[in-house]
Structure 1
Amino acid sequence: MDNNNLNTEGQKEVVASSKKSTIFTPKFLKISLVVLALILALGGFFTVKNVKLINSYENKAYPGAYILSKDLSGLNEEELKNSISSLLQDISNKELAVNANSSEFKISYKDLDASLNSEDLVNEILNFGKNESFFKKLNLIKKPENREYEFEVLFNDEKLNAFVSDISSSVNVAPTNASINISGNAISISNDSTGLKLNTDELIKNIKDKIKDMKAPNLVEVVGNVEVVDADIKASALGTVQNKLSSFTTKYPSGPSGTNLQLAARNIDNQIVMPGETFSTEKAIGPTTLENGFVEANTYVGGEVVPGVGGGVCQVSSTLYNAMLRAGIIPIERLNHMMPVSYVPIGLDATLADNLIDLKFTNTTDYPIVINTYAGNGSLTIEFWSDISIKNGMTYEPVSVPLGPLSADVYLNSYNANGELVNKQYLDRSTYQPLPN
């Protein structure tokens, strides 16, 4: 019975072993090799196909590239440039409208030389994805995600500035200063008026912020801020000019020098010097040229008396200097003549020369100062007017102390209401050359 069982089990094992060995028959192996070859062939086919697909985009934009909703996918460099040029043409047809002070001013983008950096933009589009891995590139092509490219519109700054300048020329209104006229003891004051001024810096900034946007509408509207500008000299300020602070008179001869003197005196008559402002005698008189009405007269040049246009105006500056000191005002710039003059004491003269020598003072008070002049019949008088409080009850008198025929020291004496000398201030020393024989 045991033998039978052994035989039976042995037979089973032999049968099982026989069945297993049939799996690896030549036929089976042949079929397997065919399937493997087919798989490899199909894999190679798809690999080659994908390589060709990726290579086809080597010089083209990957799918999903858009500008202003325009599809640029698959375009090469030249096609991209043409497409962007078409976009630029559309942008050039846009207009800019500026509203300022109830007026509208328009200009086209084309007239502002609208442009864009197309080369950088084309390179950015073409280079997208080109440095990625094989499978990343394949994914970008087969399953693209849309990319909206943006750019700034560029403009010619000079043309934009010129456009804004034209607007300001149309909008701006200069304020009118109040003026004053003193004749004898009569004072008349004209009213001031406000002006308008376009804030050009702000406008240019706002324009650039809007027009650089490629998605801006066909009509870009910008509001120009127009500000009210007050007059520098207001009638209310001139109302404080009520008192004569000082006066000084010199005599002059008739002739060409007298003609120049009268013209120069007229040019500085009723000049207003506001608080903190510096007065320039040279600037107030203006260039002493034939075009301005001045004539040839004797002047000091190089130690000699020679004819020169404008000779005689220095008597106006010297007279002004003496009136200035008597108002308690000390100049910040003053120079004596090369040679002594006869119309003021030695050391109390002040010369002028266009673009070279000036007589200046700064109004350090809280009130306007007005210079008043009278010239006629051989007599020149210059007065300083303002609020009497700026003299603090003092009287001022310049004093020349000659050190010889060609030199002098000058002091400014201050007297109180009782006529008592309370201060003696040294001003400067003047030295001269002798008059030519």
Structure 2
Amino acid sequence: MPKQNKKKRIGSRRVQRRKRQRIAFLSGLCLAAVLIIFAISYGILYKYVHKVKDGTIASHIFIGETEVSGMTSKKALSAVEAKLSEYEALTLTMKVGDETAEATLGELGISAKDVDKLVEEAVAYGKKGSVWKRYHALRQLKDGKKVIKPVFTLDQEAATAIVDERAKSLEKGAVNASVSYQNGSFVITDEENGRTIDTEAALKTIAKYLNEKWDYKNAVVTLKEVEEEAAIKRTDLESIQEELGSYSTEAGSGNRVTNLQRAAELLNGTVIMPGEEFSVEQATLPYSEENGYVDGGAYENGEVVQSIAGGICQVSTTLYNAVLYAELEVTERSPHSIIVTYVDPSRDAAIAEGIKDFKFKNNYDTPILIEGYIDSNNQLGFYIYGKDTRPEGHSVEYESETLEKMEYTKKFVEDTESSLGTLNNEGTAINGRTARLWKIVYENGEEVSRDVINNSTYKPTEMRIKVGTATDNAEAANLVKTAIASQDEAAINEAIAQAKALINESQ
């Protein structure tokens, strides 16, 4: 190989080595510059993201409409809760059709879910992740703001009560068809369909508005109505054409008649659909002056006392007998504690609020109508109308049978305020008894069955007889006191006679 060519190759390698060295040197310089720039930038960013102290909220951060910038978690929580308290005074107008009802947000029980977690989120903003991520989050706040949206809720019990009381009163619900017996014929009034509010749906609508559209001011929310069909239609009532059963009792006199009249009014015109159970107690409540009742005579602990709606049991009893003749299904019936005078034993049906009720079921395939009244002859009566599907020639009668009688008792008590020998009765003397009621079925005048449909027990009363022992003669008084302790009526009468004789002898 020529010597000259060899020298050229050696020179070329040297040049290439020098180029590589220069490149390496320059690369090192660049890397060093980059590292220096990175270090400087990191330092700047680190300082930037640590401008906000731990436990302090960055600038331009809101929870709802409450700015919490620069606050500690404690101060932010207090600020948000104070704002929530202010919201309670704001008014929410509920629009139903063309009408409105109002309630404060406080009445609806407004609150925000997990407020403490909202505050934690505000404090943590810009403090998690890499320096670059934190810088990017905080840099966004320079020209804008971060809003952490609370989730508002309502107190379901309180809000339900408000909607039911105020908004639902504005709805125009369906009106059932009705029927009455007038001048020998049945008159039907047509049904009217209506619109009603679904309370659960209304609460969801209000909550959705508060969380999606509310501007933290007084608000108006339109509540959606749903169509409601009448439960009872004209076509349902056209089958009512015949009397199924009836019964009447003497109404008596005094305030008691007012109570009988009021309860009969409440029951009059009632339509009971096939298979439906009817409660006389629920239909005649509440037993109060506001509902038209007055003080009237009633039984209590074996005595006649005055009480609001006294006499209501005569209404249920009279209806019970009409139900028996209509042969409806009796599902609940109780006798009185002591015997009543307006019907035979076992033909009564007592009512005691929350304790005793008279219930029956329409076991016909068509609706029935109850008509209640007090007529010009002072008779409390009930008619039950419907479609009579019983065989022609079918009839029923009811017979009361007394099984045992129990005499009322007497209890003699000393009366130190009345003169010796004076007798004053307290309470009512009523005998007790056990009885049963028979249902007798006739077909074309022939008895075909006889069944017991109830058994009743009536307690005898205890009549208190106060015996006077007031006298200056101690011996005479002791004679009577000793006889009272024996509870022997004959001995008491004899002791009174002896005591009076002693007093006469001493005068």
Instruction: Give TM-score, length-normalised by structure 2.
Output: 0.60
The verdict on how the C-alpha distance between 1:103 and 1:182 changes in structure 2, with shifts beyond 3 A counting, is closer
Which residue number corresponds to residue 386 of structure 1?
A: 386
- Separation in 2 of the partners of 1:221 and 1:40? 65
The verdict on how the C-alpha distance between 1:114 and 1:285 changes in structure 2, with shifts beyond 3 A counting, is closer
- Separation in 2 of the partners of 1:140 and 1:79? 14
Residues 247-326 of structure 1 aligned to structure 2 (within 5 Å): 247-291=246-290, 292-297=292-297, 299-326=298-325
SS at match of 1:127: coil
Residues 32-431 of structure 1 aligned to structure 2 (within 5 Å): 45-46=36-37, 48-59=39-50, 77-81=57-61, 85=65, 101=97, 118-123=118-123, 125-129=125-129, 132=130, 137=131, 152-155=149-152, 157=154, 168-169=167-168, 172-183=171-182, 185-205=184-204, 208-209=207-208, 212-213=211-212, 224-291=223-290, 292-297=292-297, 299-375=298-374, 376-389=376-389, 391=390, 394-405=394-405, 406-416=433-443, 418-431=444-457
- Separation in 2 of the partners of 1:234 and 1:250? 33
Letter in 2 for 1:49: I
The verdict on how the C-alpha distance between 1:106 and 1:380 changes in structure 2, with shifts beyond 3 A counting, is closer
CA deviation string 1:335-392 (max 9, x = no partner): 1112222322211111222333221112233322212233242433322111112x45
- Separation in 1 of the partners of 2:169 and 2:381? 44
- Separation in 1 of the partners of 2:275 and 2:62? 63
CA contact (8 A) 1:321 1:349 kept: yes
CA contact (8 A) 2:122 2:148 kept: no
Q: What is the CA-CA distance between 1:430 and the residue it aligns to? A: 0.3
CA contact (8 A) 1:340 1:346 kept: yes
Q: What is the CA-CA distance between 1:230 and the residue it aligns to? A: 1.9
Q: What is the CA-CA distance between 1:280 and the residue it aligns to? A: 2.1
Letter in 1 for 2:455: R
CA contact (8 A) 1:323 1:383 kept: yes
CA contact (8 A) 1:288 1:310 kept: yes
SS at match of 1:78: coil
4+ residue runs over 6 A deviation: 34-41, 96-100, 102-107, 112-117, 144-150, 159-167, 220-223
CA contact (8 A) 2:174 2:230 kept: yes
The verdict on how the C-alpha distance between 1:295 and 1:404 changes in structure 2, with shifts beyond 3 A counting, is same
- Separation in 1 of the partners of 2:191 and 2:368? 17
The verdict on how the C-alpha distance between 1:149 and 1:276 changes in structure 2, with shifts beyond 3 A counting, is farther
- Separation in 2 of the partners of 1:256 and 1:278? 31
- Separation in 1 of the partners of 2:165 and 2:380? 47
Which residue number corresponds to residue 433 of structure 1?
A: 459
Which residue number corresponds to residue 3 of structure 1?
A: none
SS at match of 2:61: helix
Letter in 1 for 2:195: L
* Structure 2 spans left out of the alignment, 5+ residues: 69-91, 406-432, 464-507
- Separation in 1 of the partners of 2:401 and 2:161? 61
- Separation in 2 of the partners of 1:141 and 1:53? 10
Letter in 1 for 2:460: P
Provide the aligned length of Structure 1 versus Structure 2: 392
- Separation in 1 of the partners of 2:241 and 2:188? 11
The verdict on how the C-alpha distance between 1:269 and 1:214 changes in structure 2, with shifts beyond 3 A counting, is closer
- Separation in 2 of the partners of 1:42 and 1:160? 67
- Separation in 2 of the partners of 1:373 and 1:35? 113
- Separation in 2 of the partners of 1:273 and 1:151? 57
Q: What is the CA-CA distance between 1:232 and the residue it aligns to? A: 2.9
CA contact (8 A) 1:275 1:366 kept: yes
SS at match of 2:329: coil
- Separation in 1 of the partners of 2:294 and 2:436? 33
Letter in 2 for 1:427: I
CA deviation string 1:43-62 (max 9, x = no partner): 7744542441342244369x
The verdict on how the C-alpha distance between 1:235 and 1:257 changes in structure 2, with shifts beyond 3 A counting, is same
CA contact (8 A) 1:327 1:396 kept: no
CA deviation string 1:304-362 (max 9, x = no partner): 23344433332222221111111112321111112222322211111222333221112
Pick the structure with more strand per residue. Answer: 2
CA deviation string 1:158-207 (max 9, x = no partner): 69889977994586212223332224633222222121123453354356
Letter in 2 for 1:351: A
CA deviation string 1:97-131 (max 9, x = no partner): 99864789999x9xx989896534435531342xx
Q: What is the CA-CA distance between 1:428 and the residue it aligns to? A: 2.3
Q: Percent identity?
A: 27
CA contact (8 A) 1:171 1:198 kept: no
Which residue number corresponds to residue 70 of structure 1?
A: none
- Separation in 2 of the partners of 1:320 and 1:152? 62
- Separation in 1 of the partners of 2:160 and 2:333? 43
Instruction: Give TM-score, length-normalised by structure 1.
Output: 0.68
CA-atom RMSD in angstroms: 5.3
The verdict on how the C-alpha distance between 1:436 and 1:378 changes in structure 2, with shifts beyond 3 A counting, is farther
- Separation in 1 of the partners of 2:213 and 2:222? 20
CA contact (8 A) 1:192 1:234 kept: yes
The verdict on how the C-alpha distance between 1:162 and 1:124 changes in structure 2, with shifts beyond 3 A counting, is farther
- Separation in 2 of the partners of 1:160 and 1:338? 44
SS at match of 1:337: coil
CA contact (8 A) 1:60 1:77 kept: no
Residues 9-48 of structure 1 aligned to structure 2 (within 5 Å): 45-46=36-37, 48=39
- Separation in 2 of the partners of 1:379 and 1:115? 63
Of residues 164-173 and 45-54 in structure 1, the stretch that sits farther from structure 2 once superposed is 164-173
- Separation in 2 of the partners of 1:100 and 1:50? 62
Of residues 307-316 and 340-349 in structure 1, the stretch that sits farther from structure 2 once superposed is 307-316
The verdict on how the C-alpha distance between 1:179 and 1:46 changes in structure 2, with shifts beyond 3 A counting, is same
Letter in 1 for 2:323: M
